[in-house]
Structure 1
């Protein structure tokens, strides 16, 4: 064990990144990659098994756990944003520089895209089998690698990657759905990280996961609660090469909504906490206890 520890430290000394932005960017990339690799796998297991191996509550639980453990993964580096909406909230609160925010957005989106692609690779064979009887839905134009992969229909698989609202859900509803869901997320992130609330730092990632579970159980019906521009846009870029341009034109070019609406919702959620609660929490003063004698005089300790 001692030898292994020494080797670990030797490797650490050689590859340790001292530049904070580069270090945090690497963490945001890898953390978002892992989040989507796990999260997309959860959704694929749900859809590709005809909803037999997973249920809706399993998706909420799985994503909550994925958030919790991935934030634990990067808690000592970037803090584990994995979400441009969270990052923009921190930017407006003065907790993140503009340059860092822009870099985070890029690496989060790339990490999300590659994470979803890796999950697709593991489920490629099952997806092929699932789509094999899907020929009656689309013509040869939508044929990919010998299987028919579709955005809509009884055997649609595009929803494994990102959100596609039903036709009866308007884009206006979609916008406010993403606004509200992200506002709730960031509001409670601010509650959890506010030192005045006294929540131990070790509990933060688990609580973040529980917040995501709560949102999913309350407002997952319309879109599946992406509430994260990188989470939706990154995999959608991947689907462009699998399903075609329809992933962007679907539902009157709905794709921009889960990218833009969460940014506004995040800022609203962060500042609503500040205005309604955070700014009004009394400052905690340290209590000092002094030993006194019978004459109520302070005792001198030897």
Structure 2
């Protein structure tokens, strides 16, 4: 079934918003003082991001492709798998979806933001940084993490077995994200998605939380550029060596 571009953009908007609600919502549940999930651990966060990708892909994969990530959209354009004319509208929908999803997280956790004294904990519910304060490590982690994500997601969704059973493929993509967050998430979060990092960072800058600390704009280019570069390389690997 063919959908209009507007329908596809709405799907990208909602899908990206859901990613933020499940993913950054899980971080807020773990990091913010007084929540029922406070200090429940990294597995909670990994599950949140895994489901935050799985459900939108299940819901909207057949509508828009469920990119829910500007890096995925750009990479598919570069290798000729997606029309360049739709790239900018998709990215805009994803950016605003990330903004809307983060606003939902803030609204539902607002009392706990006010109760939390740790600036690092507050920032973690919005954006990423490198735990070792190394920009080189930050870039490498986001680059390789996104590369693996893109190769894995495209392999699941486009190869014959996934095309035949898109629901099963969508579930596996969710497990890929879950696995990546548990295995490669320690250094940076991870982001793996420019919209997931940039728009929440903007909100962190604007919103008047006590004890929120710096929005760390000097390093903000890394979780934008590194995922895009990693996604392009991943799409090239898939396009030229797998299909």
TM-score by length of 1: 0.73
Distance between the aligned counterparts of 2:62 and 2:98, measured in 1? 21
Structure 2: runs of 5 or more not aligned: none
1:56 to 23, 39, 42: 42
Q: Residue deviations 1:45-64, cap 9 Å, x none?
A: 00014774521012112211
Distance between the aligned counterparts of 1:227 and 1:265, measured in 2? 9
* Structure 1 residue 32 displacement after superposition: 0.8
Bigger radius of gyration among the two? 1
Q: Residue deviations 1:167-194, cap 9 Å, x none?
A: x331111111111000000011121123
Aligned partner of residue 54 in structure 1, secondary structure: coil
* Structure 1 residue 81 displacement after superposition: 0.8
More helix by share: 2
Structure 1: runs of 5 or more not aligned: 1-17, 135-149, 280-302
1:180 to 144, 152, 172: 144
Paired residue for 2:93?
A: 107
Distance between the aligned counterparts of 1:245 and 1:160, measured in 2? 13
1:72 to 58, 73, 81: 58
Aligned length: 236
Paired residue for 1:288?
A: none
TM-score by length of 2: 0.89
Paired residue for 2:199?
A: 234
Equivalent residues of 2:3, 2:63 under 8 A apart? no
Of structures 1 and 2, the one with the larger relative CO (CA 8 A, separation 6+) is 2
Q: Residue deviations 1:94-118, cap 9 Å, x none?
A: 2211121111111101110121111
Quick one: structure 1 residues 196 and 58, their matched pair in 2 at CA, closer, same or farther if it must change by over 3 Å? same
Equivalent residues of 2:30, 2:39 under 8 A apart? yes
For the pair 1:262 / 2:232, whether they are aligned, the reply is no
Structure 1 vs Structure 2 CA RMSD: 2.1
Quick one: structure 1 residues 275 and 76, their matched pair in 2 at CA, closer, same or farther if it must change by over 3 Å? closer
